[in-house]
Amino acid sequence: GIFAGYISISDEIKGDSLAAVEGLKKAGVEKIVMLTGDNETTAQDVAQKLGISEYYANLLPEDKVEKTEELMESLGGHLAFVGDGINDAPVIMRADVGVAMGGVGSDAAIEAADVVLMGDSPEKLVQAVGIAHRTKNIVIQNIVLALGVKGAFIILGALGSATMWGAVFADVGVALMAVLNSARALRYSEL
């Protein structure tokens, strides 16, 4: 009957989690909020170590969905949710962009997700955001290029300076340039 001590068991923060949070902030993510089922003390400790200023603890799956909807209304922007467990599936499905950590994720979370990261490294999320930004920029470049060339040929055609064959070759050339420009997305350097 003499108290000799106690054993404490807790999850460890993944080694690259802090780098992932910092990388997301550098990538332009304005607000990072942690929603967790863990108790207040654990949540506060993890949030402090990761530099996350806003967190909500002791949340059941339905509480996470409710909090996500509140955040979506208050932020007015797009909301991405990253999770890995079966309890995260409803929130992953509700978010604008649902991300499942595929290596350790439950089948329900993976099925509900828009994006599945293969592996359990949080830094892969930073890479995914980088790929998305780069791809968006390439798409914008292709649209501007195509509309610019087509607009120029409309003007030249109206002035009588462009021939039908010139317009056809320009259209094929723009399509080829767009394909080649799009191929740059395959060479993402930080993978």
Residue 87 has what pLDDT?
Answer: 85
pLDDT tens-digit series, residues 45-68: 999 999 999 999 999 999 999 999
What is the pLDDT confidence band of residue 41, given thresholds at 50, 70 and 90?
Answer: very high
- DSSP state, residue 164: H
191: confidence class by pLDDT, cuts 50, 70, 90: very low
Q: How far is CA 16 from CA 8, 22, 54, 81, in A?
A: 23, 10, 20, 18
Residue 189 pLDDT level (bands cut at 50, 70, 90)? low
Q: Domain coordinates of the chain in residue numbers?
A: 17-122, 129-186
Q: State yes or no: pLDDT of 34 exceeds 60.
A: yes
Structural Rg of the chain based on CA atoms: 24
Could you give the 3-state DSSP secondary structure of residue 117? strand
pLDDT higher than 80, residue 138: yes
Burial classification of residue 89, based on how many CB atoms lie within 10 Å of its CB (0-12 exposed, 13-18 middle, 19 or more buried): buried
190 pLDDT above the threshold of 60: no
Local confidence band at 96 (pLDDT 50, 70, 90 cut-offs): very high
Give mean pLDDT, residues 140-145: 96
Other beta carbons less than 10 A from residue 165's beta carbon: 8
Topology of the domain comprising 17-122: Rossmann fold (3.40.50)
For residue 188, is pLDDT > 70?
no
